[in-house]
Amino acid sequence: MKRAVALIAVAIAVAIGATIVAGRDDPGSGTVADRARDIAAGLRCPVCLNLSVADSPSRLAGEMRAAIASRVRSGETDEEIRAYFVDRYGEWILLEPTRRGLNLLPWALPVVALVAGLAVWLALVRRRPPRDDMAVSQSERRRIEHELRGLEEST
Amino acid sequence: MNARRWRVVVIAAVPVLALVLLLASGIGNDPRDVPSELVARRAPSFSLPSLTGDETISSADLRGQAVVLNFWASWCVPCREEHGALDAAWDRYRERGVVVLGVNVEDARPDALEYVEEFGGSWPLATDPGSLTSIAFGRFGVPETFVIAPDGTIVAKMVGAVTYEWLVDEIEGALRSEATS
pLDDT band of residue A9 (cuts 50, 70, 90) is: low
The domain limits of chain A are 2-103
Distance of alpha carbon B118 from alpha carbon B90, whole angstroms: 18
Nearest to B138 by CA among B159, B110, B160, B117: B159
Cβ-contact B130, B111 below 8 angstroms: no
Q: CA of B65: how far to CAs of B82, B92, B96, B123, B152, in Å?
A: 22, 15, 9, 14, 8
The domain limits of chain B are 47-180
Contact state of A90 with B11 under an 8 Å Cβ cutoff: no
Where do the H-state alpha helices sit in B25-102? 77-93
The ipTM of this complex is 0.82
Cβ contacts (< 8 Å) between B38 and chain A: which residues?
88
Nearest to A59 by CA among B139, B32, B68, B116: B139
Please state the rounded mean pLDDT for residues B108-133. Answer: 96
Q: What is the DSSP string of A42-66?
A: TBB-SSSTT-BTTT--SHHHHHHHH
**According to the model, what pLDDT value does residue A27 have?**
46
What's chain B's average pLDDT? Answer: 92
Q: Which helix (H) or strand (E) holds B70?
A: strand B67-72
Q: Which residues of A touch B (CB under 8 A)?
A: 46-47, 49, 59-60, 63-64, 66-67, 85, 87-90, 92, 105, 109, 113, 116, 120, 124
Query: Could you confirm whether domain A2-103 is CATH 1.10.8.640?
Result: yes
Q: At what angle do helices A78-89 and A59-73 cross, to 10 degrees?
A: 140
Q: Which residue in the set B32, B105, B138 is minimally distant from A88, CB to CB?
A: B138
Q: Domain B47-180 has what CATH class?
A: alpha beta
Which residues are B103's β-sheet partners? B71, B126
DSSP state of B30: -
**According to the model, what pLDDT value does residue B162 have?**
95
**According to the model, what pLDDT value does residue B11 have?**
81
**A31: helix, coil or strand?**
coil
pLDDT digits (tens, 9 = 90+) for B29-72: 765 566 678 999 999 999 999 999 999 999 999 999 999 999 99
pTM of the predicted structure, to 2 decimals? 0.72
Q: Which residue in the set A59, A88, A113 is minimally distant from B135, CB to CB?
A: A88
Contact state of B32 with A120 under an 8 Å Cβ cutoff: no
3-state helix, strand, coil in chain B (%, to 5): 45, 20, 35
Cβ-contact B102, B82 below 8 angstroms: no
Please state the rounded mean pLDDT for residues B78-88. Answer: 97
